[in-house]
Chain A
Amino acid sequence: MTTAPLRSLDDARVTLAPLNFDHLYKHFEWNNDPELNRLDSELPYEPESLNAFKKRFEQMVFHPSSDTQDFEVLAEDGTLIGVAYIGNLSLHHRHALLGVTIGNRDYWGKGYGRAALRAVLARSFDELDLHRVSAETFEFNDAWRRLVEWAGFTKEGTERDYLFREGRFWNREQYALLAREYREWVTQNPINSI
């Protein structure tokens, strides 16, 4: 992975950058936010000590696993507003699983999620030359589902009763976008149409 910040190819509002260890406390805050956990994590919410998180974060920053790329999402003025990842990455099968979390609530509902997803898709298809990216959405996460549907993802399946939360089971929905569908979508959704 390059260490210089990656300029989003198609939305100047958002930049993807490698995880920065100086931002430990911001990441720790989001990591321990129960509402973010509910929306983007399969693990049941449990507060984590700073020490434990620091150890994990050190691994992610300095010894990342070869099948995951984690990013910071920076707003136009450089403010750290969220995180994104390309996981389950296989350069052999040319597929990956991706996700975006805008951790800073002041930036919700303003198109930053879209811009970040665009940037992650550009990295996946234009730079990593992937053939397929998938995304998973919990049944109750309407914002993330709307986002991937906006980006042209196709719903491929529903994992019934996948998640147990708040005393009941919820489905998880499987979405994917193939490279040719992405190229088509980009021509139909140029940047100034956002």
Chain B
Amino acid sequence: MTALPNAMTVLTNDTIREDRRIRLAPLALRHIRKHYAWNNDPVLNHFDSETPFEPESYLSFARRFEAIMMGQSGTLYFEVQLLDGTPIGVAHLSQLSSAHHHASMGVTIGERSLWCQGYGREAVDLMLAHAFGVLGIHRVSARSFAYNAAWKHLLETSGFVVEGRQRDYLFRDGRYWDRVAFSMLASEYQMRSAAPAELRAAA
């Protein structure tokens, strides 16, 4: 069992993982306006945030963004970028524990014009490769609000297992919604990686 690498050493690599169309990179301060726009997008908030939507001032966001960039949060944040460096979304590994070798994963394609084109799936694949392959994590969890059909489907078809259902977890649009808990263990990731991609896509 190896210890997790220090977060900062990971983040100093300019490109963390590269795949066919996208890559994961550290958060870039020069893209802060883009992150601010996503942060204040009610549609994205609806799908990926437990916090009720509320517009945030640029100053307040910039302070939080700087704190995140300083690595004070215990979470690894990434930009999802096209290969030319254009940011299209964000991804994170949170609740990272070097004692328990677990983490929680999230991916948001912020550029909504690029939804439904497989970028989210590629980003999840890169995140899993990073978590299991580079960081040596034993267990990656993910959560989905019950109404987020796209994210649930993506997790299920990426090999995540449903572990539980938190009843009435979220209050939104005048009613309660469940939150579904998923996870993937390293052993399951190895099995998944052993199967050809075409078979996985067909499954």
Q: A residues bordering B, Cβ < 8 Å?
A: 42-44, 90, 92-95, 131-132, 134, 154, 156-164, 169, 174, 176, 178
Contacts and interface: CB of A to CB of B under 8 A. Distances in A.
A161 B186 CA distance: 10
Contact of B168 (A90, A132, A159, A174): A132
B17 interface: no
20 contacts: A90-B50, A93-B171, A131-B168, A132-B167, A132-B168, A156-B164, A157-B163, A157-B164, A157-B181, A158-B163, A158-B164, A159-B141, A160-B139, A161-B102, A161-B139, A161-B185, A162-B100, A162-B139, A164-B138, A174-B164
B35 interface: no
Contacts of A176: 166-167
Nearest to B52: A92
| Contact-residue size bin, chain B (C-beta under 8 Å from the other chain) | 20 to 34
Contacts of A42: 97, 100
B57 to A, nearest CB: 20
Nearest to B97: A42
Contact of B100 (A94, A160, A164): A164
A161 B141 CA distance: 11
B165 A156 contact: yes
Contacts of A160: 139, 161, 163, 183, 185
Contacts of A178: 167-168
Given A156-B165, A162-B102, A93 B181 contact: no
Interface centre among A44, A160, A178 (most CB of B within 10 A): A160
Q: Most A CB atoms within 10 A — which of B50, B164, B170, B185?
A: B164
B147 interface: no
B115 interface: no
Interface in B112-159: 138-139, 141
